Amino acid sequence: MKKFIPGIALLFLTASNISFAADTAKGEVVFTSNCAGCHAGGKNFMSPHKSLSKEDLEKNQVNTTAAIINQVTNGKSPMPGFGKLGILSATDIENVAAYVLKKSAAGW
């Protein structure tokens, strides 16, 4: 499928990758449709002590962009690996990680 992307689209994708900066507004959209089922309001309905609060992220060492990207990409049972499963793109994951860090810093 990817082979058939017209050259113009490839150019656009390349250009947008070069100028990429995490977009928390897009991250919020990703969060609402993929994460809020278990993490609405920054909580964790399945594992309450593993919420997205600043304190829990620090305690569980998931308080960096890289750590959140890793967890969302690969999952941590019972949380699904959104990247590995092909549900979210790398850009979606970077945006949602930036959104989670921003919200946790603000106390949700």
Residues interacting with ligand HEC, by CB under 6 A? 34-35, 37-39, 44, 46-47, 50-52, 56-57, 60, 62, 68, 71-72, 76, 78-79, 82, 96, 100
Q: Which is nearer to ligand HEC, 47 or 89 (CB)?
A: 47
Least distance (Å) between residue 37 CB and ligand HEC: 5
Question: Burial code of 57-86, b = ≥16 C-beta within 10 A, e = fewer?
Answer: beeeebbeeeebbbbbbeeeeebebbbeee
Q: Which is nearer to ligand HEC, 26 or 76 (CB)?
A: 76
Task: Tell me the C-alpha distance between 58 and 83, whole Å.
Answer: 23
Q: Which is nearer to ligand HEC, 78 or 86 (CB)?
A: 78
Least distance (Å) between residue 6 CB and ligand HEC: 30
User: Cα-atom radius of gyration of the chain, to the nearest Å?
Assistant: 15
Least distance (Å) between residue 71 CB and ligand HEC: 5
Which H or E run contains 92? helix 90-105
